[in-house]
Chain A
Amino acid sequence: MSDTVSQFLEAAVRTATPLAFAALGEVLVERSGVINIGLEGAIIAGAFGALVGAGTGSVALGFAAATAAGAIMGTVAGGFIAWLRADQIVTGTAISLLGLGVTGTLYRTMYGAAGAGLTIPTLGSAPVPLLSAIPWIGSALFAQPLTTYLVYLLFPLLWWLLFRTHSGLALRACGDNPAAAIAAGIDARWIQFVALIAGGACGGLAGGTLVLAQSGTFIEGMSAGRGFIAIAIVVLGRWHPIGAVLAALLFGAAMALQYLLQAMGWSISYQLVLATPYVLTLLALAGLAGRAAAPAALGRADLGDA
């Protein structure tokens, strides 16, 4: 029994890792006042970048290419959203389509319609001595691929950046009252642009994790809605880095639970389990599971100057 539980927890953390990367990036982006529906495009670009990068034989190069590919998608989104002040929802929809289209086309062009017999190096788990021996949760938290440990570093860093630095204050000001931020001499466009690039890079890292630390291969459309899930996670985590990591864990657990239920032969109810986190997010939004307050200027194309 305890074996099943720790296996489940391990799967939950593993599944949650890419979600956490994407969601942490989206926390940064949304705190700056932008909702990036195009995150899906960054994740799939990252996944494809990982395939190409790791194809050279180096996992590190795979992650570098994944992050760069995500950052490129973030840059495109930033160009339209931050500089041209194009509508965020419309732009995001297009960026998602663009990511799925470009990766699908390149994949089939480069590796043929059948897909390549892909042998790319992947990231194995790296158990931390002592910590991974803690009963129940040890292996779940500390016998994971290195990327999971990167999440442990990233979320306190993001918290510090957002809530303890001047740049973080400026960024949050853009999200809550861009007109006031601009009046205070903050370059809101530039901040949102940089946030979108960083958010895209995190999305790319999420895609890289998916390929290099989870599935070991690239499949067209393998982001499978994770960009949208990350947006849900940000909401459920109340636009806070720590909340986002916990919410990612919840979504990861729901997704891992489906394997457990399938293994136990409960073939139909796992669909309902999968739907639960979304319902929870809706309840959280409605204030029934604690008040969730979005950045006041989230999603607005203008900067309060219109």
Chain B
Amino acid sequence: MLPHIPSALSLSLSTVDVTAYRRVGVGVGFAAGAALSVVALLWMLLVLTGHDAGRALGAFWAGSFGSGYAVASATMVRAIPLILAGLAVAVAFRAGVWNIGAEGQLLVGAAAASAVGLHLGEQLGGLALIPALIAGAAAGALLAGIAGLLRARFGVLEIISTIMLNFVALHLVGYLVRGPLQEPTGLYPQSATLLLAARLPIILPDTRLHWGIIIAALTAVSLWAALRFTAAGFRVRAVGANPVAARIAGSIDVGATTFAAFLVSGALAGIAGGVEVTGVTYALYEGLSPGYGYTAIAVALLARLHPLGILITGTLLGALQAGGAAMQRDAGVPSVLVSIVEAVLILAMVSGARRPPLARARWAGVGDDTRARSATTT
């Protein structure tokens, strides 16, 4: 059931939809351009730092796209958490929610999933995966929900609160792996290993690629469809585009929609953590995520917040990280070099892009009428 929308608003929103169609074409061209500039940039950086660029790029290719094994075991395995967390960032940003807490939500998701997987693995076997992933989603949603509540109730900027919560999550995991969830010998700061039955099965034999790729792909398609075709998705886009118009002209409950966006975003990041634990690491430890939640911001932005685009950009950044690791392993090039590439990609995009529409509406707020009013006057 679609809400009744006055024509002026529906007109302006349908313009947004046309650009969304155009975005797909632009997106594919953009991804190709990004891939090309990545190679050019890598080559330049390698030459500048005095490395054998040919050998390093060879290692980069071999480790990312050079073989079926590399694509499946290195690139796609890294792409899975990046896609899921990227979707988390995208749904939030689409709603005008600046959730930069995907990293923390991913970590608590991993913690909850491993706790459930460890406790239920013996009784339920493979069925334990479902409650484990649900627990991961719930934990992520809970953490994001705190930021959502702080914004709705006290007008706290979620940029700041989600950063704080990232640290709370990190230290919480640090506590869990030294306390309640520590492995039985008590020697290492990590949890026990998940039983074979409670792990996500490998999808391609003889690779490390697990079922998480199906989860990531299905989530991306569902999120795209939900944003594009459902009333709830419409409300999210309307609130993100202009919360004041959404409230006045669209009679949309901006507060409820924003809060829902926090929860969905947190749940997706939580699933990313749950999938990482059950599909890759099989145990909880502090260094579980090499900053997936932060890289996810780049993944989402490079895809212009389009869920299907995120499948591509997540894979590209997964390849970048996989290739970087291979360069370090096989050509002695520091893998952090790829962080420079990521940074330049993001900077090129922000300076090239028109000002994102949500930047203006960002603080126009939710449960905070003074901000909403000042947004109308400026």
- Of all chain B residues, the one with the shortest Cβ separation from A106 is B49
Q: Is the CB of A105 within 8 A of B178?
A: no
CB < 8 Å neighbour of A228 from B45, B166, B343: B166
Q: Is the CB of A104 within 8 A of B334?
A: yes
CA distance A211 to B156 in the complex (A): 34
The segment out of A85-93, A143-151, A187-195 that lies at the interface is A85-93
Tell me which residues across on chain B come within 8 A of A179, comparing CB atoms: 378
Tell me which residues across on chain A come within 8 A of B171, comparing CB atoms: 271-272, 274-275, 278
Tell me which residues across on chain A come within 8 A of B153, comparing CB atoms: 286
CA distance A286 to B347 in the complex (A): 33
The segment out of B111-119, B230-238, B352-360 that lies at the interface is B352-360
A137 interface residue (CB < 8 Å to B): no
CA distance A269 to B100 in the complex (A): 27
Tell me which residues across on chain B come within 8 A of A275, comparing CB atoms: 167-168, 171-172, 175
Tell me which residues across on chain B come within 8 A of A263, comparing CB atoms: none
Q: Is the CB of A87 within 8 A of B359?
A: yes
A84 interface residue (CB < 8 Å to B): yes
CB < 8 Å neighbour of A94 from B159, B337, B347: B347
Contact with B along A103-138 (1 / 0, CB 8 A): 011111100010000000000000000000000000
B127 interface residue (CB < 8 Å to A): no
Interface centre among A90, A225, A232, A304 (most CB of B within 10 A): A90
Tell me which residues across on chain B come within 8 A of A86, comparing CB atoms: 347, 350-351
CA distance A304 to B378 in the complex (A): 6
Distance to closest chain B CB from A87 (angstroms): 6
Interface centre among A93, A296, A298 (most CB of B within 10 A): A93
CA distance A102 to B45 in the complex (A): 10
Interface residues of B in 170-205 (CB under 8 A from A): 171-172, 174-175, 178-179
Contact with A along B76-118 (1 / 0, CB 8 A): 0000000000000000000000101000000000000000000
Q: Is the CB of A268 within 8 A of B346?
A: no
Given A104-B334, A299-B362, A267 and B178 contact (CB-CB distance below 8 Å): yes
CA distance A105 to B332 in the complex (A): 11
CB < 8 Å neighbour of A302 from B157, B161, B355: B355
Tell me which residues across on chain B come within 8 A of A93, comparing CB atoms: 100, 294, 297-298, 346
- Of all chain B residues, the one with the shortest Cβ separation from A305 is B378
- Of all chain B residues, the one with the shortest Cβ separation from A236 is B164
Q: Is the CB of A300 within 8 A of B362?
A: yes
Distance to closest chain A CB from B203 (angstroms): 31
B342 interface residue (CB < 8 Å to A): yes
Distance to closest chain B CB from A46 (angstroms): 17
A260 interface residue (CB < 8 Å to B): no
CA distance A127 to B176 in the complex (A): 41
CA distance A1 to B63 in the complex (A): 57
Distance to closest chain B CB from A110 (angstroms): 9
CB < 8 Å neighbour of B350 from A87, A278, A299: A87
Q: Is the CB of B49 within 8 A of A105?
A: yes
Contact with B along A282-295 (1 / 0, CB 8 A): 10011100000010
Given A109-B334, A268-B179, A87 and B356 contact (CB-CB distance below 8 Å): yes
Distance to closest chain A CB from B343 (angstroms): 4
Distance to closest chain B CB from A306 (angstroms): 6
Q: Is the CB of B178 within 8 A of A85?
A: no
Distance to closest chain B CB from A82 (angstroms): 13
Q: Is the CB of A113 within 8 A of B159?
A: no
Given A93-B297, A104-B336, A220-B336, A85 and B355 contact (CB-CB distance below 8 Å): yes
B160 interface residue (CB < 8 Å to A): yes
CA distance A105 to B343 in the complex (A): 14
Distance to closest chain B CB from A103 (angstroms): 8
Q: Is the CB of B49 within 8 A of A89?
A: no
Tell me which residues across on chain B come within 8 A of A170, comparing CB atoms: none
Q: Is the CB of B164 within 8 A of A98?
A: no
Q: Is the CB of A278 within 8 A of B150?
A: no
Given A104-B334, A304-B378, A306-B378, A98 and B160 contact (CB-CB distance below 8 Å): no
Tell me which residues across on chain A come within 8 A of B178, comparing CB atoms: 267-268, 271
CB < 8 Å neighbour of A285 from B51, B150, B168, B355: B150
CB < 8 Å neighbour of B150 from A89, A90, A286: A286
CB < 8 Å neighbour of A90 from B161, B165, B175, B297: B297
Q: Is the CB of A108 within 8 A of B334?
A: yes
Given A91-B350, A306-B378, A98 and B343 contact (CB-CB distance below 8 Å): yes
Tell me which residues across on chain B come within 8 A of A232, comparing CB atoms: 160, 163-164, 167
Q: Is the CB of A91 within 8 A of B163?
A: no
Q: Is the CB of A100 within 8 A of B336?
A: yes
Distance to closest chain B CB from A180 (angstroms): 11
CB-CB nearest 7 A-B residue pairs: A101-B339, A104-B336, A101-B340, A98-B343, A271-B175, A275-B171, A94-B346
Q: What are 5 A-B pairs with beta-carbon distances under 8 A?
A: A90-B301, A101-B336, A101-B337, A109-B334, A286-B153
Chain A residues with CB under 8 Å of chain B are 35, 37, 80, 84-87, 89-91, 93-98, 100-102, 104-109, 113, 179, 220, 225, 228-229, 231-232, 235, 267-269, 271-272, 274-275, 278-279, 281-282, 285-287, 294, 296, 298-302, 304, 306
